[in-house]
Structure 1
Amino acid sequence: MIEFAPDVPRWKQVAEVMRSRIGDGTYPARSRVPSVVQLTEEFGIAATTGQKVHRALREEGLIYTEPGLGSFVADRPQG
């Protein structure tokens, strides 16, 4: 678990951790990212908070979801 800053929504803080993990290769392209349930367990957050994290990362194009399979890191062009 992380220590949450009181002045920033928790979903934003968890999303930042996930962005960092995607960026540093902890979760490489096409690898599965933690489910909402796994996020709730790891970070001690509510399911709705975990859903906001996934939604934000999808909207940013960092992950995509395959119904019935899970969520995965999107391919990104090499810069």
Structure 2
Amino acid sequence: MIEFAPDRPRWRQVADMIRTRIADGSYPPGTRVPSVIQLQEEFGIADSTSQKVNSGLRAEGLIYTEPGMGSFVAKNAAEILKAAGDDSRY
């Protein structure tokens, strides 16, 4: 089980972990990212928290969602992260 810092919302901490996986190439462009249910199982978070993770990453342009298919890493995610530097973290 992941230990979360008490001073930051969990969804932001999980989003940071997914963001790191995108940045280090663990999730290359076009790769499906964990579903809401998978996030719940992996990180022990609530449904609403998982949804906030995906919403935040989508708002940053790092992932996109194909209805009925899931969410995937955007083609330009690495460039977005590089341009934003550490400022992309909440």
TM-score (norm 2): 0.84
Displacement of 1:48 in angstroms is: 0.3
Give the equivalent residue in structure 1 for 2:88. Answer: none
1:43-58 matches, cutoff 5 A? 43-58=43-58
1:1-79 matches, cutoff 5 A? 1-76=1-76
Give unpaired runs (5+ residues) of structure 2: 83-90
Q: Over aligned residue pairs, what C-alpha RMSD do you find?
A: 1.3
Give me the identity figure in percent: 67
Q: C-alpha separation between the residues in 1 aligned to 2:21 and 2:36?
A: 16
Deviation track 1:8-62 (CA, whole Å, cap 9, x = no partner) reads 0000000000000000010000000000000000000001000000000000000
Displacement of 1:2 in angstroms is: 1.9
TM-score (norm 1): 0.95
Moved over 6 A (4+): none
Q: C-alpha separation between the residues in 1 aligned to 2:7 and 2:19?
A: 20
